[in-house]
Amino acid sequence: MKELPSGLAVYKTTPVFTEKTVPDGLLTDHITKPGVWGRIVVEDGTLLYEVPAEGSYVLTPEEPGVVAPTVPHRVTPLGKVTFFVEFLRGSDEVAHPAADIKL
C-alpha cells in the first residue's frame, strides 16, 4: 500500500460509518480528485480495502488505509466495523467546497 507523502494536512473528515451505514458509493469503485489523498481510519473491526491496480488489504485500528489521488478503490465491511475517512492535501492548496470523491 502507498504511504502518505509528507506535507499533507487533513482538511475534511467524513462522519463515522458502520457496516450498516456505509454509503453505497464507497462499496463500489470510486476515486478522489487530483491532489486529494485519503486515510481510511478503522476505529473497531475490520474493513477490506481493494485497489484493483495494487491488491487487497485488510484494514484494522492498527492498520489504516491510504488512498492515492485518482486511483480507483472500494471498501467492504468484514463484519461489524466503525470507520471514517480523512481527506488530505498539500497545506498550500486552497480548500474547495465541492465533494472530493468521484463515484
97 assigned to some structural domain: no
C-alpha cell at 49: 480495502
Would you say residue 62 lies in a domain?
yes
Nearest to 83 by CA among 53, 29, 52, 38: 38
Residue 97 has a pLDDT of 44
CA dist., res. 72 & res. 95, Å (int): 22
Domain, as residue range, for 22: 8-89
- CATH of residue 25's domain is 2.60.120.10
Q: Where residue 100 falls among pLDDT bands split at 50, 70, 90?
A: low
The string of pLDDT tens digits covering residues 17-69 is 999 999 999 999 999 999 999 999 999 999 999 999 999 999 999 999 999 99
β-bridge pairing 37-51 and 101-102: unpaired
pLDDT band at 101, cuts 50/70/90?
A: low
